[in-house]
Chains A and B, each alone.
Chain A
């Protein structure tokens, strides 16, 4: 069972399309993350939200636009992507602060940009 749910599982989009990735967790975590993972590479941090506010943007191009509408939801809006943006997009959540804050990952959305 996955405690962090991501939809869709797969997405194919053209370079002129607009699409959104969705992430949901019900563990009461107040930090949520977007990571990008290319094949045979480690996850790379994109964005971090803390208490629904963007706290970290790792210099991600503006064609990726994150949104955190409430404490359980995290979206990633996609527009005018490039083929090199094709990757597995992972959402994660964690507690904020404290001594126990491991990240819990969702199963990811596999994105293909054509």
Chain B
């Protein structure tokens, strides 16, 4: 089955700096890669996703890149703000079937220092 590795496990940056979180996946059939942000005690919230037919997607300060050959995808946050502090999870799935069976990475605790 699918296995998703995520690095780093913790990341501390200064406000205004950029943050990059990287994930690798094992199943070459995976074609959907979302990123979720989870604040303490709250639900995971989708912040951006990308499909395998796209190499890069951007939404304001957040961007995701995908390298299908290397089976890598990364989250880039620019101009970080204290409210970006949270745990970020990458995930992968092959949603060619009826449902979206997401397999999550191990998470990255991002701390943005004011």
Contact = CB atoms under 8 A, between A and B. Distances in A.
A74 interface: no
A45 B101 CA distance: 8
B98 A42 contact: no
Interface string B46-88: 1001010000000000000000000000000000000000000
A56 B94 CA distance: 14
B104 interface: yes
A75 interface: no
A107 interface: yes
Given A31-B98, A33-B99, A94-B99, 16 more contacts: A41-B106, A41-B107, A42-B106, A43-B89, A43-B102, A44-B104, A45-B101, A45-B103, A55-B98, A55-B99, A90-B44, A97-B98, A99-B51, A101-B100, A103-B46, A104-B46
Interface string A41-80: 1111100101100011000000000000000000000000
Contacts, number: 61
Interface of A: 2, 31, 33, 40-45, 48, 50-51, 55-56, 90, 94, 96-97, 99, 101-108
Interface size class of B (residues with CB under 8 A): 20 to 34
B26 interface: no
Interface in B87-114: 89, 95, 97-107
Contact of A96 (B36, B43, B98): B98
Interface of B: 32, 34, 36, 42-46, 49, 51, 89, 95, 97-107
Nearest first, the 4 A-B pairs at minimum CB distance are A42-B104, A105-B43, A31-B99, A101-B100
